[in-house]
Structure 1
Amino acid sequence: MRTGTQLDREHCVRAAQSKDARFDGWFFTAVLTTGIYCRPSCPAVPPKAENMAFYPSAAACQQAGFRACKRCRPDASPGSPEWNRRADLVARAMRLIADGVVDREGVAGLATRLGYSTRQVQRELLAELGAGPLALARAQRAQTARLLVETTQLPMTEIAFAAGFSSIRTFNDTVREVFAVSPSGLRARTRVPGNPAGGTPATPGTLSLRLPFRAPLNPHNLFGHLAATAVPGVEEWHDGAYRRTLRLPYGHAIAALSPRPDHIACRLTLGDLRDLSVAISRCRRLLDLDADPVAVDARLRADPLLAPLVDRAPGRRVPRTVDEAEFAVRAVLGQQVSTAAARTHAARLVTAHGKPLDDPEGGLTHLFPSPEALAGADPGTLAMPRARRTTFTTLVRGLAEGQLHLGIGADWAEARTRLLGLPGFGPWTAGVIAMRALGDPDAFLPTDLGVRRAAKKLGLPATPAALTARSEGWRPWRAYAVQYLWATDNHPINFLPTYEG
């Protein structure tokens, strides 16, 4: 859809005229005659091609004076898969903006995290997205505000500050500009018979919303993996939903995520409503909802030995994480032990060092302990071999002291190099952290036992070197190839019997 950093007009017109939902989030269509902007799949009659203009972001549309379509809600479309596929400055910046860094730390804080000057960050984002970091963050605040206006009965003053606005006036002006209606008007139009929007939640701070994704999505390996590896007290599969605790910038939360045929049902219980947009972003990242499954599966299907796996169950996602440091710790705990043993080790750490919390709706009891809390643990109390104990303590010390960065804005290559320099970190541990914590879609695990067993069964090369050479044709989606290979095994991570869809 893009040539370099420019939108390909011919392809955009074709996608908009065919209402192709695959391109929702890739670009936005502005209608010159009406002054609105839409997602490509908008159900309205497409305008004439000469009346279309195309923008790479909702923020760019808003800056150009267009308002969001009330019918297709382009601000709520899946995010561009570009930001999770790439490791360059713009992609790293977009991941951090989605995580609320600009709202909390300003543009200067964003630039510091990226290791560039504010001017360079501004220039790169403007060149590719048609909007700078402040405009992109503003568009995100507008979407958060709409969610709160439409799904709660909170006073507008509370919504304004929860969404990240500095004043009521700015909140009102932004909502009017983006949605062409006042906040009270936005709320009024949701109050129709049978629509629960605007109702009072059963639990204070609880919101229910729908997380969109690009079809197809296969929920079995995704939710099966999360359920099978769930750490007691922190995660659980309960009443048809994967539930877990979240540590967020302003407080904690509990997320309940359930697969549906055309969306993910998300129920969030937030200690502080200012964390809403960050919680949504992390849940989307956990479930890899902004992936482009059509592009992924097309590349993997080109290999005749992988094609039957893809055709049998297309749309597999990479189960990721809501906390990169947590996953790195769990990867070390899982070295050379069974899934059950890794869960037991993690549960002991949680009980000893995690922060307790209440969960009236289930069995969650703690937040996973922070690196700082784990760095203060007595190594002698860790029930693991001495060499792994050294690996563990070195990792948590590096994370706690800021010498090792694994956050969503991390440089993938640099992080992997630093991980491999730690004692006890080999290609498998660094690779699985790159795949599930850093989010590298091309991370590959040629030494993994399950991958090698599947490769042998399929007639693929079974030695790590030969399998790596064969996998060159699967780039840049080798992390997804791992999911298809793992799915050949009769392991609990690949099944979710309670799902009906």
Structure 2
Amino acid sequence: MEGVESYYRAVSSRDSRFDGRFWFGVTSTGIYCRPSCPARTPKSENVKYFVSAAAAARNGFRACRRCAPDAVPGSPQWDNRADVTARAVRLIGDGVVDRGGVPELAARLGYTERHLNRLLSDELGAGPLALARTQRAQTAKTLITKTGLGLSEIAFAAGFGSIRQFNDTFREVYGCAPSTLRREAAPVDGVLSLRLSYRAPLHGEALFGFLGARTISGVDVYEDGRYSRSMSLPHGMATVTLWPGTPAPHGGETGVGSGFVEAALRLADMRDLTPAVARCRRLLDLDADPAAVDAVLAADPALATAVAAEPGVRLPRSVDGFEMAVRAVVGQQISVAGARTVLARLLPPAEAAADRSDLPTRLFPTPEELLALPDEAFSMPASRRRTLRAVAEAVRDGLRLDAGSDRAATREALLALPGVGPWTADYIALRALGDPDVLLTTDLGTRRGAKALGLPDDPVELARHAERWRPWRSYAQIRLWRAA
């Protein structure tokens, strides 16, 4: 979509497909909204457009209370792109600035603070600190409306450095004092219930079924359409249960043509709300643009029927890159069921009284914990055990496998490790780094799925055919596995 006229058409038609792609501010009211806002359409001469909510706030607009423009799905371009700006946005979303400030963000990306600020300001209309402040305000709003915490507790849990900064930022973003949004309700039994929005459609069976088929006893559970798992967050352990919600009606909380996933979070520390939400969104690929993906894949007659039958298939990702790397190494040349058994043996024994089948009770081992395991804990060939330890050493020594990683450099670093070949490196890129354009042409399941759909099952011929699926080959990969 290009040009002011195109933006205004999206606003006039309340098109929720563009929620999260841009925001608009109304000069006559001083309020900014999402494109699908159900309020009366303003005159075009009174509208200004922004590429981020932070840019709207920076220009003096406050968030609309009716359409909640801070609760839209993230822009798919920041989710899929591999450049520095996109990596920065993903790291800010994970709370890196809240924990370590802009210096930490700049160090992670390998740029000076000044250059990084210029890059983000040029493309997003706001620098990293402004983006983080707007995100803190959104986190604070969630804590105010969903918990019974005191406002001072909320201020510091959301990442603000002082009560004054909290109040000033909240008034800037929402145009009111924090206390005006206070509700009486508090989380039940320490459970924080949230709705995570997405662009429709979303094929829940494919997404949750994929995760459910790969659960590890004690770490994640899949029962009755609900997926639960543990997460290691900066300030402690958390568990989350996720399941598809019912789409909202016209003008509802999530807008037209969108929906939400229900999330029940149990946090050891409320300061971890921001990274918990960010990792859940990445796990379920909730910032994707399924219409764009499906349009490219459906253009291939071999995939057209599958896309029509199952629109909105997502890319199941991960909440922890190291865990996914271990899963990839263990999964080399063995079945999914076999990999689950081997992975479960890497976990420390759980206390019988605490080991509940309906809720995860254990965290996946850290690199240090895995390196401390004796040889007999690894139910696999010695060569694979050495590979696992090499991966653990690399991550312990600084290799990052997360949303902010440089995908090309990370792949090279992985391939340099003993026992890590292209299949393993690409599987990690697919699920840990969230690369949208990976195809595992030598994978047996991929070849079986290709044959079932009438596609060439020879790796070289399949790779040649798959050029037409760029830049969404990862989504085709999931469809080929489903066809197998």
Instruction: Give the shorter-chain TM-score range.
Output: over 0.9
**Cα distance in 1 between the residues matched to 2:356 and 2:481:** 36
Alpha carbons of 1:33 and 1:129: their partners in 2 closer, same or farther (altered >3 Å)?
same
1:20 and 2:9 aligned = no
Question: Contact 1:379 / 1:393 at 8 angstroms: preserved in 2?
Answer: no
Trace 1:388-427 onto structure 2 (pairs within 5 A).
388-402=384-398, 404-427=399-422
Q: CA 1:157/1:443 → structure 2, altered by over 3 Å: closer, same or farther? A: same
* Alpha-carbon separation, structure 1, partners of 2:148 and 2:225: 27
Question: Is 1:51 aligned to residue 46 of structure 2?
Answer: yes
Q: Which residue is 1:289 aligned to?
A: 286
Does the CA contact (< 8 Å) of 1:355 and 1:368 recur in 2?
A: no
The counterpart of 1:253, out of the listed 238, 244, 247, is 238
Percent of counterpart pairs with the same letter? 55
**Contact 2:221 2:357 (8 Å CA) reproduced:** no
1:365 corresponds to: 361
Deviation at 1:240, TM superposition (A): 3.9
Instruction: Show structure 1 runs of 5+ residues with no match.
Output: 3-7, 192-197, 490-501
- Which of 228, 246, 252 is residue 243 of structure 1 equivalent to? 228
Contact 1:320/1:439 (<8 A) preserved:
yes
Cα gap change, 1:278 to 1:355, in 2 (>3 Å): farther
Q: What residue is the counterpart of 1:494 in the other structure?
A: none
1:88-167 to 2 correspondences below 5 Å: 88-167=83-162
* Superposition pairs of residues 274-423 of structure 1, within 5 angstroms: 274-351=271-348, 362-402=358-398, 404-423=399-418
Deviations along 1:264-291, one digit per CA (max 9) or x if unpaired, are: 0000000000000110000000000000
Q: Which one is further off, 380-389 or 327-336?
A: 380-389
Q: Of 186, 199, 215, which residue of structure 2 is paired with 1:200?
A: 186
Contact 2:218 2:355 (C-alpha < 8 Å) held by counterparts: no
Once the two structures are overlaid, the 10-residue window that deviates more, 377-386 or 155-164, is 377-386
Q: Which residue of 1 aligns with 2:29?
A: 34
Which residue number in structure 1 is paired with residue 471 of structure 2? 476
Matched to 1:338, the amino acid is S
Matched, 1:269 2:263: no
- Please name the residue that 1:180 is paired with: 175
Q: Show CA shifts across 1:217-248 (max 9, x none).
A: 00111100111100100000135421000100
Q: For the structure 1 residues 361 and 137, does the alpha-carbon distance in structure 2 shift closer, same or farther, using more than 3 Å as the test? A: farther
Match of 2:441 in 1: 446
Look up the match of 2:64. Answer: 69
Taking the aligned partners of 2:216 and 2:47, their CA distance within structure 1 comes to 50
| Alpha-carbon distance change, 24 to 357 in structure 1, aligned in 2, over 3 angstroms | farther
Pair 1:359–1:292, CA change in 2 (3 A) = farther
Is contact 1:357–1:365 with CA below 8 Å preserved after alignment?
no
CA displacement, residues 133-186 of structure 1 (integer Å, 9 cap, x when unaligned): 000000100000110111112111111111111111111122122111211111
Shift of residue 106 of structure 1? Answer: 0.8
Amino acid at match of 1:318: L
For 2:356 and 2:453, how far apart are their aligned partners in 1? 47
- The offset of 1:411, in angstroms, is 0.4
2:483 corresponds to: 488
CA positional deviation for 1:434: 0.6
Cα separation, 1, equivalents of 2:6 and 2:347: 50
Name the structure 1 match of 2:252. Answer: none
| Native 8 Å contact 2:345 2:377 kept in 1 | no
SS of 1:208's equivalent in the other structure is strand
**Contact 2:315–2:474 under 8 Å retained in 1:** yes
CA distance, structure 2, for counterparts of residue 259 and residue 153 of structure 1 = 26
Deviations 1:401-423 (A, max 9, x none): 11x22122110001111112222
- Relative to structure 1, the CA distance from residue 109 to residue 374 in structure 2 (aligned partners, 3 Å threshold; closer, same or farther) is same
Q: Distance in 1 between matches of 2:202 and 2:376?
A: 44
CA shift digits 1:57-83 (9 cap, x unpaired)? 000000000000010000011111111
**TM-score when scaled to structure 2?**
0.95
1:210 paired residue number = 195
Q: Deviations over 1:193-234 (max 9, x none)?
A: xxxxx4122223x20010000000001111001111001000
Deviation at 1:357, TM superposition (A): 11
Q: Is the 8 Å Cα contact of residues 92 and 408 (structure 1) preserved in structure 2?
A: yes
Equivalent residue number for residue 495 of structure 1:
none
**Mean alpha-carbon deviation: is it higher for 43-52 or for 57-66?**
43-52
TM-score, normalising length from structure 1? 0.91
**2:447 & 2:353 partners in 1: Cα distance?**
41
- One-letter code aligned to 1:394: A
- 2:343 and 2:351 map into 1 onto residues whose CA distance is 14
**Does the 8 Å CA contact 1:357/1:367 hold for their aligned counterparts?**
no
Cα distance between partner residues in 1 of 2:5 and 2:329: 49
SS at match of 2:239: strand
Tell me by how many angstroms 1:355 deviates. 11
Answering whether residue 205 of structure 2 is matched by residue 220 of structure 1, we say yes
User: Would the aligned equivalents of 1:356 and 1:365 in 2 still touch at CA under 8 Å?
Assistant: no
Aligned mates of 1:380, 1:264 — CA distance in 2: 41
Write the deviation string for residues 340-384 of structure 1: whole angstroms up to 9, x where unpaired. 1111111111125x9999577934221111111112222343221
